[in-house]
């Protein structure tokens, strides 16, 4: 697989073209941002961890019948993925109250819901990724009804697979963000990444935060938290 020109640089990843028009190479950086890029920093070793963790989860999800963009891990930081047209939505699944949910509705963090919630944000940095409902998604033509239903099903199925995996690692999956894309044939697949940047992961025994909230909220021990979740994943995967 030949790596060609860089076609995109995001906050945490770079994307390169390849000699195959249907495939891209994603390269994970150690750069971290929060609050729509207002806060900037580096989390040493994050790129390697996020690459490996995301690939591990994508393979697990594929086995459970959820199609993903994952093709092959190329190196510590680089992965070959299917090229998709990204649906400009952040699909957020929550099992336990935290973050913007708690802020918006004035609830404590850490309250488990009877059933998971799925919410959508419109991916538009200049607007700060505003919350959007399904009627507005249809009105703006961001996705059609069938696509939204498929995305909703995949999001909840992903929650079941990931929650049960993390539970076995002694970690509670509080919430997470997914992005989906369209293949040239129009089918919807899971894209982007699944990592401590995009999930809230709390130690089940102690409640300790093992995710990017340590960076967002200046809690310290950011690198250690990323290493700890990776260690738990690897220990469990070997069993
Ligand atoms: P929130 O509570 O801030 O809305 O975040 C919900 C989940 O989405 C949390 O696991 C972190 C993740 N997330 C991202 O992956 N990217 C983002 O830009 C934001 C705001 C949240």
CATH number for 32: 3.30.200.20
Question: Which pLDDT score, from 0 to 100, does residue 237 have?
Answer: 79
pLDDT higher than 80, residue 238: no
If you measure from the C-alpha of residue 1 to the centroid of ligand 1, how many angstroms do you get, rounded to a whole number? 33
Q: Which residues line ligand 1 (CB under 6 A)?
A: 92, 98-101, 175-177, 198-200
Residues 206-217 pLDDT 10s? 999 999 999 999
User: Relative to the CA of 176, which ligand 1 atom is closest?
Assistant: 10
- 69 and 113 housed in the same domain: no
User: Relative to the CA of 36, which ligand 1 atom is closest?
Assistant: 18
- 24 and 133 housed in the same domain: no
If you measure from the C-alpha of residue 59 to the centroid of ligand 1, how many angstroms do you get, rounded to a whole number? 22
**Residue 26's domain spans which residues?**
3-82
Q: Which of 66, 82, 98 is the endpoint of a domain?
A: 82
pLDDT (mean) for 59-82: 98
- 115 and 71 housed in the same domain: no
Q: Would you state the torsion angle of the CA atoms of residues 53, 57, 62, 63, taken in this order, to the nearest 10 degrees?
A: 110
pLDDT higher than 80, residue 79: yes
Q: Which of 82, 101, 128 is the endpoint of a domain?
A: 82
Q: HSE on the CB side for 238, CA within 13 Å?
A: 5
Residues 160-189 pLDDT 10s? 999 999 999 999 999 999 999 999 999 999
pLDDT higher than 80, residue 44: yes
- 48 and 101 housed in the same domain: no
- 181 and 120 housed in the same domain: yes
- 68 and 100 housed in the same domain: no
CATH code of residue 216: 3.30.470.20
- 27 and 130 housed in the same domain: no
Question: Which pLDDT score, from 0 to 100, does residue 229 have?
Answer: 98
In total, how many domains does the chain have?
2
- 23 and 108 housed in the same domain: no
- 68 and 123 housed in the same domain: no
Closest residue to atom 14 of ligand 1, CA basis: 198
Q: Which of 52, 82, 112 is the endpoint of a domain?
A: 82
The DSSP annotation for 116-174 comes to: EEEEEEE--GGGT--EE-HHHHHHHTSS-HHHHHHHHHHHHHHHHHHHHHHHHTTEEEE
In the predicted model, what is the mean pLDDT of the chain? 97
């Amino acid at each position: 697989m030949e790596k060609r020109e860089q076609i995109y640089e995001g906050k945490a990843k770079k994307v390169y073209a390849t000699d195959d028009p249907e495939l891209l190479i994603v390269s994970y950086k150690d750069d971290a941002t929060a609050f729509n890029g207002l806060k900037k920093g580096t989390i040493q070793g994050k790129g390697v961890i996020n690459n490996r963790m995301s690939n591990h989860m994508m393979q697990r999800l594929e086995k459970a019948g959820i199609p993903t963009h994952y093709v092959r891990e190329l190196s510590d930081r680089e992965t070959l993925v299917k090229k998709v047209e990204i649906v400009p939505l952040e699909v957020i699944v929550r099992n336990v109250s935290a973050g913007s949910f708690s802020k918006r509705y004035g609830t404590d963090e850490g309250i488990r819901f009877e059933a998971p919630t799925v919410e959508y944000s419109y991916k538009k940095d200049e607007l700060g990724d505003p919350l959007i409902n399904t009627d507005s998604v249809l009105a703006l033509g961001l996705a059609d009804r069938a696509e939204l239903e498929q995305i909703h099903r995949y999001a909840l199925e992903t929650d079941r697979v990931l929650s049960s995996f993390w539970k076995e690692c002694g970690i509670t999956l509080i919430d997470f963000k997914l992005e989906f894309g369209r293949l040239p044939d129009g089918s919807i697949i899971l894209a982007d990444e699944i990592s401590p940047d995009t999930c809230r992961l709390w130690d089940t025994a102690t409640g300790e935060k093992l995710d990017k909230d340590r960076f967002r909220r200046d809690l310290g021990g950011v690198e250690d938290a990323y290493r700890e979740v990776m260690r738990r994943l690897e220990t469990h995967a070997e069993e």
